[in-house]
Amino acid sequence: MLKLEQGELLSLKEAARLLPGKVNISTLFRWSSRGTRGVRLQTWLIGGRRFTNEESLEKFIIDTTAAADGNPLPVRTSKQRQAGMEQAEKEIGGDAVSDGPDAVDVNTDEDEDPVAGGHRRSG
């Protein structure tokens, strides 16, 4: 079975069975779409069906419990994210994206055939 983030995928129906009490599948769908207490359940859409895993359920429970106990998750503003990216770029010494050994040169010249390595014939 496909594994995402080191967890075996569970349908929302299977995930609901893992939780204590009688949790309806619609509750899990709501947790994944709207969330609760500022926390959303991580899911993946595959073939029109939603899936999650045990790790995502555990993280969701821990995060919603923390929010309910008055320990909300820290939220970074766009300015804080931008400052963090700029700091990271300084730490690595310049541009975050560089021409490494796997870099690909993208040619935008329409007359050159990238496959043949030369020019296309006109006419």
Residue 94 within a domain: no
Of 80 and 2, the structure prediction assigns the larger pLDDT to 80
Of the pLDDT bands very low, low, confident and very high (cuts 50, 70, 90), residue 12 is: very high
Residue 104 within a domain: no
Structural domain tally of the chain? 1
Residue 51 within a domain: yes
Q: What angle do CA 15, 17, 20 make, to 5 degrees?
A: 105
Residue 105 within a domain: no
What is the rounded average pLDDT for all residues in the chain? 79
- What confidence tens digit (pLDDT) does each residue in 52-94 have? 999 999 999 999 999 899 886 666 778 888 888 888 888 887 6
Q: What angle do CA 30, 35, 39 make, to 5 degrees?
A: 155
Residue 37 within a domain: yes
Q: Residue 60: give the domain boundaries.
A: 3-68
